[in-house]
C-alpha cells in the first residue's frame, strides 16, 4: 500500500505470531517499523492481513487461523 503522499510504501512481515507493518521510504529506501499487530490469542494464527487508510489514521485487519483437535482412543478391539 502506498502512503497518501506517494513517498512511502507499506509492507507487512509476519514472524512468530506478530505482524510488523513497515514503512519504506521510496526515494531513500529507508525502512522503519510503523506498527505491530499481535492477536490476543495467537493459537493457530498463520497470517495477519492489515488494511489501513493512506494517512495511517485508521486500520483494520483479518486473522487467518487454523485449529485442529487430536483425539486419543484407547482400548479398541
- What are residue 59's phi and psi, to 5 degrees? -155, 155
All structural domains of the chain with their residue ranges: 8-65
Q: Are 14 and 23 in contact (CB under 8 A)?
A: no
The pLDDT, as a whole number, for residue 55 is: 77
- The torsion defined by the Cα of 24, 44, 64 and 30, in degrees rounded to 10, comes to 0
Per-residue pLDDT of the chain (77 residues; tens, 9 = 90+): 666 677 788 889 988 888 999 989 888 989 999 999 999 998 999 989 888 887 778 889 999 999 999 999 999 98
The pLDDT, as a whole number, for residue 58 is: 86
Instruction: Write down the pTM of the prediction.
Output: 0.69
The pLDDT, as a whole number, for residue 63 is: 92
The pLDDT, as a whole number, for residue 36 is: 93
Concatenated DSSP letters of 48-74 = EEEEE-TTSS-EEEEEEE---------
- What's the rounded Cα separation, in Å, for the pair 21 and 32? 9
Amino acid at each position: 500500500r502506498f502512503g497518501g503522499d506517494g513517498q512511502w510504501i507499506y509492507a507487512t512481515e509476519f514472524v512468530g505470531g506478530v505482524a510488523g507493518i513497515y514503512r519504506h521510504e521510496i526515494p531513500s529506501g529507508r525502512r522503519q517499523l510503523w506498527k505491530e499487530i499481535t492477536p490476543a490469542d495467537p493459537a493457530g494464527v498463520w497470517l495477519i492481513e492489515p488494511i489501513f487508510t493512506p494517512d495511517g489514521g485508521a486500520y483494520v485487519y483479518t486473522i487467518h487461523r487454523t485449529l485442529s483437535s487430536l483425539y486419543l482412543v484407547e482400548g479398541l478391539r
